A and B are shown apart, each in its own frame.
Chain A
Amino acid sequence: MTTATPTASQTRVWDLFVRVFHWSLVLSVVLAAASGFLLESRILLLHISAGLAAAALIVARIVWGFTGTTYARFAEFVPAPADIRGHLAGGSRHLGHNPLGALMVLALIVLVLALAVTGLVVLGGVDKSGPMAPWVSYALGSGVLGLHEALAFGILALAALHFAGVVFESRRSQENLARAMVTGVKERRPGDHIAPARRAHPALAVAAIAVLAAGGWAVTASQAARPVPGLPVATLDATYKAACSECHIAYNPSLLPAAAWLGIMAGLKDHFGENATVSAAEAETITAWLTANAAETADTKLAHRLALRITEPPFAITEQRYWKRLHTEIPDAVFANRAVGAQSNCAACHADAEQGRFSPFAIDLPKETLK
């Protein structure tokens, strides 16, 4: 970022903070949008990081709007209705944000913050992660996902409108507004709206941002320590684990509804083609524990989207459309690889399979399969 010294006919409009903020916001919104619309679990962490970075930038920008230099201040650019009418009627040039540009600034601030909040609600309800996890049900999280997506289209529309506005205003006023957002300086012309100069208070701004960051961290940390309702049972019953993980992984009971577990336990003599009978005493303990912790007791995405829909024998998770859709990109060779062995070996790639979490952040193909 060049820091041109204004010549006699030029004046500094955008301070360093505003310029760094602007282009960082462009970068983070582009990254968040691109990774979000791709909807890939592997880059979900990038999506969340970019979205939270955009929100953090907005919060800092709001602070700077009360403490920054002349043209960074809300007091300078937030327009009254009469200002908007005057600008639309072809009023004189604004050195800072013109009234329509100012409306765009406000709309983007609201939208980025709304995207961050709805995104955290989705993360909390659907993935049972993040600061909202203790508070949001799956139903609420998945419902808010639609709103989050609508807002995302909204920000794309605003970005397009912003770009068109910059092009239009640059031509109308015979100056390159995008370059001014890089250099920070603009040409001084007779008849400009010139705001009364205000002094910046960078120390106050830094202090306010630090307080907000510490507060945000403290709230997040305190929420992370709260128990999350609706998580699958995390500790497997010893009898179940001993008897049912000799041939395959110990499946979390939240992966099937209670009726399916009853069906599985009643059919152990032909268990996916093999005899897997257990003693009557073991069967009683295992059946009671499985049905008491079945999918009906879990509020996970997996329970709602996959497990609760499994009602027909042979109750095979890998035969479900939802499972197949999520695994279409995995080549057969990966499942056949010795490190995996079969589609039923969830834990080969899902580190948290036994806990029934299947978090998008815990997926890792064994490196033997990547050759």
Chain B
Amino acid sequence: MNRLVFTLAALLAAAPAMAQDANDTNAAALIAKFAAEAGITADAEAGKAFFLANQAGGGADTPSCTSCHTADPRAMGEARTGKPIEPMALSVNPKRFTDTAFVDKWFGRNCDSVLGRECTSAEKANVLAYYSSL
């Protein structure tokens, strides 16, 4: 009985850490969803240009996606705090884009940090297509 309680408690405690692996979606499904919302066909080249561009309107320390993710999505990134960020490219990091809540949270935060606004569905579809094309 104690053991069961302990196991349940351990699972509960670990739940937030596992949230990133909800496994309720994947990159292709998200691209399809965002592209449908925008009424476009996802374009990896447009996504690359968006990823590399210097944006206006965001925070002074985060002018571009590359500020933290580096210009190569296949490489490790680094937050301004020094914390490493796993690669974005699906080819080197297949666990990316498998958790709807996680994807929504970080698009929500980082689009605001870099652009000072929410990303459009077209921008999301394109950049995800770019990450998937590498």
User: In the bound complex, do residue B16 and residue A273 qualify as a contact, i.e. CB atoms below 8 Å apart?
Assistant: no
Given A242-B19, A274-B113, A340 and B82 touching (CB < 8 A)?
A: yes
Query: Quick check: is A326 within 8 A (CB to CB) of the other chain?
Result: no
Q: How far is the CB of B52 from chain A (nearest CB, A)?
A: 20
Establish whether residues A275 and B83, one from each chain, have CB atoms under 8 Å apart when the complex forms.
no
**Smallest distance from the beta carbon of A354 to chain B beta carbons, Å?**
14
A275–B82 touching, CB < 8 Å:
no
Q: Take A242-B19, A243-B16 as given contacts and tell me if A277 and B109 are in contact as well, using a CB distance cutoff of 8 Å.
A: yes
Stretch at the interface among A34-42, A141-149, A177-185, A341-349: A341-349
Q: Mark each residue of chain A from 216 to 242: 1 if its CB lies under 8 Å from any CB of chain B, else 0.
A: 000000000000000000000011011
CB 8 Å contact bits of B31-74 with A (1 = contact, 0 = none): 00000000000000000000000000001111000000000000
Q: Summarize A's interface: helix, strand, loop or mixed.
A: loop
Q: Does B110 contact A (CB under 8 A)?
A: yes
Segment 268-303 of A: residues with Cβ below 8 Å from B? 269-270, 272-277
Given A239-B16, A274-B59, A274-B62, are A269 and B112 neighbors across the interface (CB < 8 Å)?
A: yes
Q: A242, B17: Cβ atoms under 8 Å? A: yes
* Partner of A344 from B13, B15, B81, B110 at Cβ < 8 Å: B81
B119 interface contact, C-beta 8 A: no
Asked whether any CB of chain A lies closer than 8 Å to the CB of B3, the reply is no
Residues of B within 8 A of A243 (CB): 16
Pair A273/B81 contact, Cβ less than 8 Å: no
A189 interface hit (Cβ, 8 Å): no
Are A242 and B83 in contact, CB atoms less than 8 angstroms apart? no
A247 an interface residue at 8 Å Cβ cutoff? yes
A-chain residues with CB within 8 Å of residue B112 when the two chains form the complex: 269, 275
State which of B13, B15, B17, B82 has its C-beta within 8 Å of the C-beta of A345. B82
Q: From B116, which residue of chain A is reached at the shortest CB distance? A: A275
A276–B59 CA distance with the chains assembled, in angstroms: 12
B: number of interface residues (CB 8 Å): 21
In the assembled complex, the Cα of A32 lies from the Cα of B108 at a distance in Å of 57
Interface residue A188 (Cβ < 8 Å from any Cβ of B):
no
* B113–A275 CB distance below 8 A: yes
The yes or no answer to B78 lying at the interface (CB within 8 A) is yes
Q: Mark A121-148, 1 if CB is under 8 A from B, else 0.
A: 0000000000000000000000000000
Contact B83 A248 (CB under 8 A): yes
Nearest chain B residue, comparing its CB with the CB of A248? B81
The residues of B that contact A238 with a CB separation of less than 8 Å are: 12-13, 15-16
**Chain B, range 1-41, C-beta contacts under 8 Å to A:** 12-13, 15-17, 19
B82 touches A348 (CB 8 A): yes
Interface residue ranges of B106-130 to A (CB < 8 Å):
108-110, 112-113
Complex contact A275–B81 (CB within 8 A):
no
| Bound-complex Cα distance A274 to B112 (A) | 8
A241 surroundings in chain B (CB, below 8 A): 16
Using CB atoms, name the residue of chain A closest to B18.
Answer: A242
Residues of A within 8 A of B61 (CB): 273-274
Tell whether, in the assembled complex, residue A342 and residue B108 are in contact, meaning their CB atoms are under 8 Å apart: no
Chain B residues with Cβ under 8 A from A272's Cβ? 80
Given contacts A238-B16, A242-B16, A274-B59, contact A341 B81 (CB under 8 A): yes
With a CB–CB cut-off of 8 A, which chain A residues contact B82?
A: 338, 340-342, 344-345, 348
The 4 A-B residue pairs with the shortest CB-CB distance, nearest first, are: A341-B82, A242-B16, A275-B112, A248-B81
Extra 8 A-B pairs, beta carbons < 8 Å, given A238-B16, A248-B79: A238-B13, A239-B16, A242-B19, A247-B79, A247-B81, A273-B60, A274-B80, A274-B109
**Residues of B with Cβ closer than 8 Å to A?**
12-13, 15-17, 19, 59-62, 78-83, 108-110, 112-113
